[in-house]
Structure 1
Amino acid sequence: MVGQESNVFSQVTEKEVTRAIVREFAAQFDDYADSDVLIAGGGPSGLMCGKVLAEKGVKVLIVERNNYLGGGFWIGGYLMNKLTVREPADRVLDELGIPHTEVSNGLHVADSPHACSKLIAAACDAGVKFVNMTSVDDVVFRDGQRVGGLVINWTPVRTLPREITCVDPVALESKVVVDATGHDAVVARHLADRGILELPGCAPMWVERSEDDVVNYTREVHPGLVAIGMSVSTIFGLPRMGPTFGAMLLSGIKGAEVVLSLLEHKEGPHAKIGVSAGLS
């Protein structure tokens, strides 16, 4: 009845809500200030890499500058929410439970929101943790010039005029850092700005060549730093690929293999990834 009192929800005060948020976030942030792997960028390649690593028991934190995860995976080309995937990456869609349709020989189409939400959920279910609305300001160096972490700050800080604010960043440490920041190659760019790496930038679009190249060139690009996804194109001057996402998924998987190899070198054997998408 309208106006009749009923206690549907548990009785909780405002301060309890505030304390729950602060305590849980602070506890997780404190724990993941020292991670096995830090992944900059929560787009399709970063999510895929994180998912595969977390499934192997690796402690993974993804740093995402936006409020939302998924990057460009939420939408296809030209503001149309259909995405394309070329074989053999359709097998990854199958593994994630993403419906798709083969529209021509070897070319599959899926609904972007469905695909993106499934991948985000899979990464979360695997145990990946996230800090969003967080930008990478710099890198941490160890043992000379080995990348050993990320310097981060709240993304909104960048919108504040320098005249009225001075908000120092904080740092996170890790055994390996992964640059999954897309065309911007944010982490690698901090090295390039110091003359440590060269970033020629992406070449013009060439879908057939680009996807193979991105997967083939996925690797450790500097001690402690692995590049995956479109950051690979920027670092190696490869063609851009446009609104097709198979290489993003497979590059994420291959990147996880590279990371595991680096962790094995540091700590001893890890279980091998059984990649059913043809990257063995």
Structure 2
Amino acid sequence: MLMETEISSCIVKEFLEDFLRNLHTDVIIAGAGPAGLTAARYLARQGIKTVVFERNLWVGGGMWGGGMLFPKIVVEEEASAILKEIGVRLQSAGSFFVADPAEAVSKCTSSAIDAGAKIFTGMEIEDLVVKNAQVCGVVINWSAAKLAKLHV
């Protein structure tokens, strides 16, 4: 077997097994920005099976851009406790705190995963499945399919 074939086979097999394990979950979160990652961490930490779908190929939402495209983010005091709890270093700046976006994104992500949340990137939620006036599922699709305007 060609090494490339073996590599592709491994990727597909592991992804499909992982995806199938997470088709039935307690909570689905749309988006792996700071709010989604924080919610995922809190829920998973309580033993609630939590899956996050992020449409981009990366996590962190708008944190990567920082402020004015400079690699620094400003955090209000109320949110600073969440970042301190996961070990993000913050510098006081009057009524705000300043943090490094790469550190904040990586620690928010790893703390959600370490708590037990599962994150799938490159997938987005297209619709909700509603039965008896309750949301009981979601319709997801590959982000690439939507960008290509493919109706699948």
Give the alignment's TM-score, normalised by structure 2: 0.91
- Report what 1:75 is aligned to: 65
Offset of residue 25 of structure 1: 0.9
AA aligned to 1:79 is: L
Which of the numbers 112, 120, 125 marks the counterpart of 1:123?
Answer: 112
Deviation string, structure 1 residues 4-55 (Cα, Å, up to 9, x no partner): xxxxxxxx93333222211111112112111100001110000000011111
- Report what 2:101 is aligned to: 112
Equivalent residues in 2 for 1:142-181, closer than 5 Å: 142-143=131-132, 145-161=133-149, 165-167=150-152
Query: 5+ unaligned residues in a row in structure 2: which ranges?
Result: none
Equivalent residues in 2 for 1:25-44, closer than 5 Å: 25-44=15-34
- Report what 1:92 is aligned to: 82
- Report what 1:53 is aligned to: 43
Q: Conserved in 1, the CA contact under 8 Å of 2:31 and 2:52?
A: yes
Question: For the residues of structure 2 that align with 1:110 and 1:91, how far apart are their CA atoms?
Answer: 13
Identity %: 38
Equivalent residues in 2 for 1:201-212, closer than 5 Å: none
RMSD: 1.6
Question: For the residues of structure 1 that align with 2:78 and 2:125, how far apart are their CA atoms?
Answer: 33
More strand by share: 2
- Report what 1:132 is aligned to: 121
Question: For the residues of structure 2 that align with 1:132 and 1:75, how far apart are their CA atoms?
Answer: 19
Question: Secondary structure at the residue paired with 2:51?
Answer: strand
AA aligned to 2:85 is: E
Deviation string, structure 1 residues 192-214 (Cα, Å, up to 9, x no partner): xxxxxxxxxxxxxxxxxxxxxxx
Q: Conserved in 2, the CA contact under 8 Å of 1:75 and 1:113?
A: no
Question: For the residues of structure 2 that align with 1:25 and 1:62, how far apart are their CA atoms?
Answer: 15
Question: Secondary structure at the residue paired with 2:128?
Answer: strand
Offset of residue 150 of structure 1: 1.1
Question: For the residues of structure 1 that align with 2:7 and 2:47, how far apart are their CA atoms?
Answer: 31
Q: Conserved in 1, the CA contact under 8 Å of 2:128 and 2:139?
A: yes
Offset of residue 146 of structure 1: 1.0
AA aligned to 1:141 is: V
Give the alignment's TM-score, normalised by structure 1: 0.51
Equivalent residues in 2 for 1:211-222, closer than 5 Å: none
Question: For the residues of structure 2 that align with 1:156 and 1:88, how far apart are their CA atoms?
Answer: 36
Deviation string, structure 1 residues 226-280 (Cα, Å, up to 9, x no partner): xxxxxxxxxxxxxxxxxxxxxxxxxxxxxxxxxxxxxxxxxxxxxxxxxxxxxxx
Question: For the residues of structure 1 that align with 2:79 and 2:148, how far apart are their CA atoms?
Answer: 42
Structure number with larger C-alpha Rg: 1
Deviation string, structure 1 residues 119-147 (Cα, Å, up to 9, x no partner): 1111111121122111221111122x211
Greater shift, 152-161 or 59-68, is seen at 152-161
Question: For the residues of structure 1 that align with 2:10 and 2:63, how far apart are their CA atoms?
Answer: 32
